[in-house]
Chains A and B, each alone.
Chain A
Amino acid sequence: GQQVMQIPQYQHVQEGEDFTTYCNSSTTLSNIQWYKQRPGGHPVFLIQLVKSGEVKKQKRLTFQFGEAKKNSSLHITATQTTDVGTYFCAGYGGATNKLIFGTGTLLAVQP
């Protein structure tokens, strides 16, 4: 079945360093969404990308959707302690039209 993998599983950075998580799907996606889950909390929607090659920015966060619509990335510039949490990508694709979540990347930021 369709799988969405993320790397790395875990990343520890010093505050001020950059961070990137990569998302790869086994099938073409109609769109890609990104969510953030703070420790002990629930996932919160960040953004949705629809077009091939699309790039969107939210302050220090840059999201990219690959040309083949099978991969995506989230880049955080100059991390802050408020960025701590698990970042999930999720995509719609395949015959079932279910949203398939990636495995997630846990970001730890040391002050």
Chain B
Amino acid sequence: DGGITQSPKYLFRKEGQNVTLSCEQNLNHDAMYWYRQDPGQGLRLIYYSQIVNDFQKGDIAEGYSVSREKKESFPLTVTSAQKNPTAFYLCASSPPSDEQFFGPGTRLTVL
């Protein structure tokens, strides 16, 4: 099956801890994205990568970091510097300037 997967589905973190969210795709897409969605809100772009070993900050990159060592993988680290990390995190991939395919998302809760 072709698709995009995210893990875990639910994640709980204590304040002050870093946590890494996984995103994997087997669609052979060059571009991958991370979005944050808060309750009742739209999607805000955190980071995006258009090619392996390259990525750019989105609109709300502060407190987050990413890597793109492989085409299939684009993990997101939520660092302790992120002041309000509780949210729904969505990963997506796409061909150039085309529709985005979203993963099922990870719900992160900071305790």
Chain A residues near B (Cβ < 8 Å): 1, 30-31, 33, 35, 41-45, 48, 88, 90, 92, 97-99, 101-104, 106
Contact = CB atoms under 8 A, between A and B. Distances in A.
Contacts, number: 42
A104 B97 contact: no
A4 B71 CA distance: 30
A42 B90 contact: yes
Given A42-B102, A43-B90, A98-B48, A31 B97 contact: yes
Q: Interface residues of A: mostly helix, strand, loop or mixed?
A: strand
Given A92-B97, A97-B97, A43 B103 contact: no
Contacts of B58: 98
B contact patch SS:
loop
Given A92-B97, A98-B48, A42 B40 contact: no
B43 A88 contact: yes
Contacts of A98: 45, 48, 58
B54 to A, nearest CB: 14
Nearest to B35: A101
